[in-house]
Amino acid sequence: MTRHAVATAGAPAAIGPYSQGIAAGELVFCSGQIGLDPASGNLVEGGVEAQAERALRNLAAVLDAAGCSFGDVVKTTLFLADIADFTTVNRVYGRFMPDPPPARSTFAVGALPKGALVEVEAIAVRARS
């Protein structure tokens, strides 16, 4: 099996030794995205709702670079700095996901990179070419 890095300027560059995504056969594994503005590299202002929206837009850009969309996503994982933000993030997340939504896990964590409030990662399945 061959694997290829997925990269796009539509999402922030990796801030460590990892790829924005990896395509392996029909599977696409997207690294976690936080609410960083791709142009400035800074967290967007506006709290958890704005960060969730930006993180999902960043994830959409990585999926697009791999030839996928949210309709191809089979599993997501959400990481929250504060579980009290679950309802707000869930509302934003619901605007991006098709019906039926993918399987999902959500965790409260001690901290996220750059002081982010939310991070989202995904696994997608590309259509056979």
pLDDT digits (tens, 9 = 90+) for 70-115: 999 999 999 999 999 999 999 999 999 999 999 999 999 999 999 9
Q: Would you say residue 48 has pLDDT above 90?
A: yes
Which residues constitute the domain of residue 89? 3-125
Tens-digit pLDDT profile for residues 22-43: 999 999 999 999 999 999 999 9
Tokens standing for residue 113: 């990179």
- Residue 129 pLDDT class (50, 70, 90 cuts): low
* Cβ neighbours, 10 Å, residue 40: 9
How many domains is the chain partitioned into structurally?
Answer: 1
CATH of residue 13's domain is 3.30.1330.40
Tokens representing 111? 């901290």
